[in-house]
Chains A and B, each alone.
Chain A
Amino acid sequence: MYKLLLCWKYLRTRYLAMVCIVSVMLGVATLIVVNSVMGGFSTKLKERLHGLLSDVVLEAYDYDGFTDAPSKMALIRNDPFLSNEVEAMTATLEIFAMLQFNFREVPFTRPVRIIGIEPEGRKAVGGFAEHLVNPKNHENPTFNLDENARERFIIRRASRGIDFPGPREAPNLNEPPPPDPPPSKPHEPQGVILGYAIAHYRDRNAPADLVNKDVRTLEPGDEVVITTVSGAKMSPVFDRFVVSDYFKSEMSEYDSNYVFMPIEHLQKLRTMEDRVTSIQIKLKDYNKAPKVVARLRELFANAPLEVQTWEQKQGAVLAAIRVEKGILNILLFLIIAVAGFGILAIFSMIVVEKTRDIGILKALGASNGGILTIFIGYGFLLGLVGAGLGTIIGLEITVHINDIEKLIANVTGQDIFPRDVYYFDKIPTDINLFSVFLVNLGSIGIAVLFSILPALRASMLHPVRALRYE
């Protein structure tokens, strides 16, 4: 009983102990905040890396693609194992291209990747429709212009305010023309969905209080010209398109490169009807992905196709994230180890200071084990209180990290989290309760571990020597 009483009294009366508590507390709080933010970044990044990729991708080795996607999908659908695992699939055709447009009478050209898709099928596989800017497209993604866009298109077409470099109407002799326009209306080019960053740039000189600093270079209804290569002979082909919507996944690689258009249109443009470059497959249970991949490889053993999960495709980046997180955690744990040495030093001081009390307790019949328990219990208590406070503070900071960031930015005038660099609206956080628990366990463990040595010394003190100690 006296052990408990003394632990408690020592905790309350030793200001040095507060130093231990504070150092454990800071260590724990830092670990929790950094872990949560790192976790947030990596979850978000993973989400985005997954982004456009479906769970499993069946893909051709080159841009030429492969034929007969429907029959391959039928083969998958008829396979007894795969049919149970596959939730949805869709074929896509990918190719690099040049995008040209006028902004404020100045012509711009930029490289892009065109992805030909079948909107409904692509939506079923996921990672597409929910990123479209026009909310109408979330339910029913289409490449058709909405009212405003069509109006804008007609006005601009009428005023002829745009002028593209190069030939205006496709004077293609060898290639078939784009799909026939509806005869009744004025010719309206095919709609395309542009990556958000293609059509916007961030104005660094905008007033600070402006919420949306993005300047739009292409409105829905504006015309663009896309040039790419045909399938077999690699000769250039191009066509006029009109912007119908934006794709904003917040993954800058996608947002600044991807242009979506209907797959049939792209096939016609490239004269490679019936060819696709990949089949995207969504699984019912991603945990079964390795088995599905194995089965697919078996099924298409003779075709020049590669089968990969999205993680395999992004393997290098994911591995880098994992390694980075691991190293950071080790480094941060050193913080707590430093706190541990603080405990060691301070405890040794407290033992010296308490030498006579230890002698008294022994004279009154306290055992060596009892004295040992007092000091180890004391270390445990310090660790517990420090870790508890640290957890509370760490979680508080994590939850309010964006407010805190804003506050610091306001006070110092320094932007800590430049949003256009990370392309996040706010600092992402992901509190993992298990890792919070581990951090607590680890820091309490370290507090106890580092109190063992001084505690042993205290328990080994000879009572007479301790009593004579001045």
Chain B
Amino acid sequence: MAGNTFMYAQNLHKIYRKNAISTPVLKGVDMEVAEGEFLSVVGASGSGKSTLMHLLGSLDKPDVGEIYYREKRIDNLSADKRDHLRNHDFGFIFQFYHLLPELTALENVMIPLMIRSSVFSWLGNGSVARKRAITLMEKVGLGHRMHHLPKELSGGEMQRTAIARALIGNPALLFADEPTGNLDEDTGREIVQLLRELNEIDNVTIIMVTHNLEIARGTHRIIKLVAGHVEVPLQQHPEAFGVVRPESFDNLPEDENHPDETRRPAGI
């Protein structure tokens, strides 16, 4: 297994059970991402892309399999270590922005820093955090919208706010689940452009789920989820950071890897 990879996952299984019905969503996913890489995850609706992101982002635990981040296994950490990881190392961007509706844009951006500090330490360094939030808001082009509530912002503006929020904790790894899914094409392109800059200039590693193949082609590498497995990469950039394909990928049974497999309709 690649020892120097930034994050990698081995044989991830996830089965959703509801009453007697169990839905296997991931059936042995192996994947990895290198430091500084901009990775796209594509796949049909319901193929488990969000599920994979949740597992990698330690929002959920796999039924089987292991996830390593910076050479440390993270899928079996205690709850508070996972909370700490999400707060300090990871950033999340969602399709529906997921801003807190009661807070202004600026407050939304500051939330991750508030979560990590007590009232007293906030009294001490709150103004520093505030300055940083303002800088980030300006960086994502929202310097003039800081005191608006989410409902007073457009979709693109909300997503920029969410990006600023994801960045404020200085994450090493950014998870973006269909960040452009709810936006028109132009706005979506702007958002992706913003992410690409973050990746290139600030060297943030990004894993992005998208349905838009054109957008996906603008990233370093694409993996496709089909029927609970990672399919052969559609596109391997020449500068693909020497990522080694996991061996287990070759061992996948052929039938389960069939692209035309009829799937049951996707649900959420």
A-to-B contact residues, CB < 8 Å? 1-2, 4-6, 9-10, 13, 356-357, 359-368, 370, 462-464, 467-468, 470
CB contact between B103 and one of A4, A5, A356, A370 (< 8 Å): that residue: A5
Contact segment of B65-73, B76-84, B180-188, B189-197: B76-84
Contact of B255 with A by CB under 8 A = no
Instruction: Given the known inter-chain contacts A2-B115, A361-B115, please indicate yes or no for A368 contacting B86, CB distance below 8 A.
Output: no
What is the count of residue pairs linking A and B with beta-carbon distances less than 8 angstroms? 78
**Could you list 20 examples of A-B contacts with CB < 8 Å?**
A5-B114, A9-B102, A357-B101, A362-B83, A363-B57, A363-B59, A363-B98, A364-B86, A364-B87, A365-B84, A365-B85, A365-B86, A366-B83, A366-B87, A367-B80, A368-B79, A463-B60, A467-B98, A468-B268, A470-B268
The tally of residues in B whose CB lies under 8 Å from a CB in A reads 36
Q: Are A364 and B103 within 8 A (Cβ)?
A: no
Q: Are B60 and A370 within 8 A (Cβ)?
A: no
Give bound CA distance, A468 to B126, whole Å: 31
Q: Are B87 and A365 within 8 A (Cβ)?
A: yes
Q: Are B122 and A1 within 8 A (Cβ)?
A: yes
Q: Are B115 and A366 within 8 A (Cβ)?
A: yes
Q: Are A362 and B111 within 8 A (Cβ)?
A: no
Instruction: Given the known inter-chain contacts A1-B119, A4-B119, A360-B100, please indicate yes or no for A365 contacting B83, CB distance below 8 A.
Output: yes
Contact of B92 with A by CB under 8 A = yes
CB contact between A360 and one of B60, B87, B98, B107 (< 8 Å): that residue: B98
Secondary structure call for the B interface:
helix
Residues 36-58 of B contacting A (Cβ, < 8 Å): 50, 54, 57
Which B residues lie within 8 Å of A6 (CB)?
Answer: 100, 102-103
Q: Are B59 and A467 within 8 A (Cβ)?
A: yes
Give bound CA distance, A362 to B57, whole Å: 12
Contact of B211 with A by CB under 8 A = no
The 4 closest A-B pairs by CB, nearest first: A365-B87, A2-B114, A1-B122, A9-B102
Contact of B220 with A by CB under 8 A = no
Mask for B91-121, Cβ within 8 A of A = 1, else 0? Answer: 0101000111111000100011011111101
Nearest residue, chain B, Cβ from A356? B98
Give bound CA distance, A413 to B59, whole Å: 67
Q: Are B98 and A370 within 8 A (Cβ)?
A: no
Q: Are B60 and A1 within 8 A (Cβ)?
A: no
Which B residues lie within 8 Å of A463 (CB)?
Answer: 59-60
Q: Are A370 and B86 within 8 A (Cβ)?
A: no
Q: Are B92 and A364 within 8 A (Cβ)?
A: yes
Contact of B88 with A by CB under 8 A = yes
Which A residues lie within 8 Å of B54 (CB)?
Answer: 464, 467
Nearest residue, chain A, Cβ from B108? A360
Give bound CA distance, A218 to B76, whole Å: 97
Nearest residue, chain A, Cβ from B94? A467
Nearest residue, chain B, Cβ from A365? B87
Give bound CA distance, A9 to B100, whole Å: 11
Taking A364-B112, A365-B86 as given, write out 10 further A-B residue pairs in contact, using a Cβ cutoff of 8 Å, ordered by the A residue number: A1-B115, A1-B118, A13-B102, A357-B100, A363-B86, A364-B111, A365-B88, A366-B83, A370-B115, A470-B268
Nearest residue, chain B, Cβ from A363? B92
Which A residues lie within 8 Å of B84 (CB)?
Answer: 365
Which B residues lie within 8 Å of A365 (CB)?
Answer: 83-88, 112, 115-116, 169
Nearest residue, chain B, Cβ from A359? B98
Which A residues lie within 8 Å of B103 (CB)?
Answer: 5-6, 9
